[in-house]
Structure 1
């Protein structure tokens, strides 16, 4: 009897022009990519907004959310990943899929966000769950340094046990869901702070 091909930790694109294709494997690296069910919910939430959007993927990991966005006709994606092994894996996937609109940087996200930015339409925040302080600092920097504008959307995925996260008053939660292990939310910016 033939064994079924295993795709453990191999991430599948679930919508758009790359639907059904797999990202390069990250099975030897300790990360927790957004699973297919969560990703399907997220991109259902973003269905009206993703086409022609400008996106920032702050902790790209496997490239999962960046490449899913490109598959669904996002105009341009900036992807940040400081782990060199993951960076090279994302590079290979981008090359394999012949994607031209993902600008990938091997950098520390917090360092990147400390400079004065330019607003994005959609921002993905899915940092390592154990480093809770990184998520809080990232939210602060995004709100302070011109990375958002009115109606920008921010996706946050975190451990369900992380209940003390402080969200800026100008971010309105428009979608929320949780599982046994994680919670994930979509926020919309109601106004930007005056300088």
Structure 2
């Protein structure tokens, strides 16, 4: 779950796709930090060619902004992983209200869930709470699952004042962006 900033907005807006302009309430959870609209718009422009039909994992789901945006834009399946029981329940309520049958909400620790993925994955959103050093172990857990397709794309989000995460061997940064206190990159495997 993405946590760091107090005063998260009461709603997030789905930017495009099936539920364009639909506003989803943000659960009342301390420090919940939805990915800003500008960053999400940039990210999903990057992913547009590969998103339709893709298997996506939103590993620290929080508000669900990334996962629901992916589902709105024709992702084939979206697995949202959220540790907090109250927030996971809220995500399930939103999934039913849309309705979004392609979205599954799993209440679990993200690191444990990433290491035990059972299906091949196209896109993974890694937007953990800032300042807790979770990106490196999340990347390691994800790679240990053996479920990333060779063409997989990983979205990594972190606080702008933090050092960018070290990428695993064989992976390269494809795109990067910054907005406000958010820095993000899209990474993929280096060609053989």
TM-score normalised by length of structure 2: 0.89
CA contact (8 A) 1:175 1:185 kept: yes
Aligned mates of 2:166, 2:117 — CA distance in 1: 22
CA contact (8 A) 2:158 2:164 kept: no
CA contact (8 A) 1:10 1:25 kept: yes
Larger radius of gyration: 1
1:182 corresponds to which residue? 182
1:74 corresponds to which residue? 75
Q: Which has the higher contact order (CA 8 A, sep 6+)?
A: 2
Question: The residue matched to 2:121 in structure 1 has which SS?
Answer: coil
Query: How do 1:14-163 residues align onto structure 2 when only pairs under 5 Å count?
Result: 14-27=15-28, 29-115=30-116, 117-132=118-133, 134-163=134-163
Question: The residue matched to 1:150 in structure 2 has which SS?
Answer: strand
1:3 corresponds to which residue? none
CA contact (8 A) 1:150 1:190 kept: no
CA contact (8 A) 2:130 2:158 kept: yes
The alpha-carbon distance between structure 1 residues 21 and 164, as it changes in their structure 2 partners (threshold 3 A), is closer
Query: How far apart are residue 189 of structure 1 and its match?
Result: 1.8
The alpha-carbon distance between structure 1 residues 8 and 113, as it changes in their structure 2 partners (threshold 3 A), is closer
Q: What is the number of residues matched between the two proteins?
A: 185
TM-score normalised by length of structure 1: 0.88
CA contact (8 A) 2:38 2:179 kept: no
RMSD: 1.9
| CA offset digits 1:29-73 (Å, max 9, x no partner) | 421110111100000111111111110110000111111111001
| CA offset digits 1:117-168 (Å, max 9, x no partner) | 4320000000000212x21101111122213121100000101222162211
CA contact (8 A) 1:24 1:90 kept: no
Aligned mates of 1:25, 1:141 — CA distance in 2: 28
Aligned mates of 2:135, 2:118 — CA distance in 1: 18
Q: Which runs of 4+ in 1 moved over 4 A?
A: none
